[in-house]
Amino acid sequence: MADELDATIYYDDDADTGYLDDATVAVIGYGSQGHAHAQNLNDSGIDVVVGLREGSSSRDAAKSDGLSVATPPEAAAQADVVSILVPDTIQPTVYDQIENELDAGDTLQFAHGFNIHYNQIQPSDDVDVTLVAPKSPGHLVRRNYEADEGTPGLVAVYQDVTGDAKDQALAYAKAIGCTRAGTIETTFREETETDLFGEQAVLCGGVTSLVKQGYETLVEAGYSEEMAYFECMNELKLIVDLMYEGGLGEMWHSVSDTAEYGGLTRGDRVVDDHAREQMEAVLEEVQDGTFARQWITENQAGRPNYDQIKTAEENHEIEAIGEELRGLFSWADE
């Protein structure tokens, strides 16, 4: 355990999958996280059953991956740990379907704290409630596990009636590969707020806005779409890979002095004080529940705004030129 840092971080040696040896884990959902957790748990020797609704389009995939499949209530009835890995706004409905199948001492496990933190799910007081949240998209949780690597994660306990909630959560984190890379102990509130902020202001929202703005600036100045795509989208991965491997310094070391000087003197003009004020406003809307209420209301209304902005994003010209160019990479499937 690395405790000389501010946070308490757990690694493989700090976790014992023995806490899941006699348990069955129901993974409800087989999407981005669900397919990864279910397969990683299974490959780690944990007894897994996948819970999917009747007629689910994911049933064939789960079965072809060698996993047993049941409906969410059936899976929960068989399980000692129920991992809720369906979309956040669906979870309260799915919880209603399974809550009567939970026995005293079972565990309700999440990969994001949204529904507990914003009181959308009030779990019964006789079950453990835990969180193991990979800091990674689900498909890389699986890919890294198969490569004998891992993805960092967060672990939290909301309710511990058995006395083993944290040890069992660490066993789960180890079985999906998170303690290979490090799993930070936190709370449902901290995970929820930092995850929502990070995906909105940096990882998903901020970065894609930066890419699109850069692309549009070049194209509107008369440069070709191809040039703008390779400069502002394709090369971003190559730059971020270096940051991932060795920090900002690794990237600055690898790029030219010209790029380093230009980046260090112009970067804060683009992502400036106004951007920082907006980041702080975005965080405040996460903390005071404004975002959660907006997202819940949006779903209750049938996602009219979400569908509209999602369609506009899909139709952004960078997507078309990108698909065309990626298809021409020498290694692309012919």
Ligand X SMILES: NC(=O)C1=CN([C@@H]2O[C@H](COP(=O)(O)OP(=O)(O)OC[C@H]3O[C@@H](n4cnc5c(N)ncnc54)[C@H](OP(=O)(O)O)[C@@H]3O)[C@@H](O)[C@H]2O)C=CC1
Active site positions, annotated: 112
CB 72 within 8 A of CB 97: yes
What x-and-dash track marks residues 131-170 binding ligand X by CB under 6 A?
A: --xx--xx--------------------------------
Task: Report the number of secondary-structure helices (H) and strands (E) in the chain.
Answer: 17, 9
In which region does residue 209 sit, left (phi positive, over 0), alpha (psi from -120 to 50) or beta (all else)? Answer: alpha
Amino acid at 110: F
Q: With CB cut-offs between 5 and 8 Å by kind, which of Mg ion, ligand X, ligand X2X, none does residue 53 bind?
A: ligand X
What gap in Å lies between CA 181 and CA 150, rounded to an integer?
5
- Which residues between 184 and 213 bind ligand X2X (CB under 6 A)? 195, 199, 203-204
Interacting residue with ligand X among 86, 132, 181, 318 (CB under 6 A): 86
**Least distance in angstroms from the C-beta of 138 to ligand X2X:** 7
Q: Which residue number has the CB closest to Mg ion?
A: 195
Opening angle at CA 263, ends 257 and 267, nearest 5: 170
CB 291 within 8 A of CB 285: yes
**Least distance in angstroms from the C-beta of 89 to Mg ion:** 13
Q: With CB cut-offs between 5 and 8 Å by kind, which of ligand X, Mg ion, ligand X2X, none does residue 23 bind?
A: none
Nearest one of 323, 117, 150, 317 to 220, comparing CA atoms: 317
Phi, psi of 22 (to 5 degrees): -100, 15
Phi, psi of 170 (to 5 degrees): -70, -35
**Least distance in angstroms from the C-beta of 321 to ligand X2X:** 25
What gap in Å lies between CA 118 and CA 288, rounded to an integer?
10
Interacting residue with ligand X2X among 92, 137, 205, 214 (CB under 6 A): 137
* 10/30 with CB nearer ligand X: 30
Q: How many residues bind ligand X (CB under 6 A)?
A: 23
What gap in Å lies between CA 35 and CA 43, rounded to an integer?
12
**Least distance in angstroms from the C-beta of 312 to ligand X2X:** 20
Token pair of 225 as six digits: 């779409």
Binding positions for ligand X2X, rule: CB under 6 A: 135, 137, 195, 199, 203-204
**Which residues are known binding-site members?**
30-33, 53, 56, 58, 138, 195, 199, 231, 235, 256
Binding positions for ligand X, rule: CB under 6 A: 29-34, 52-53, 56-58, 85-88, 90, 94, 111-112, 133-134, 137-138
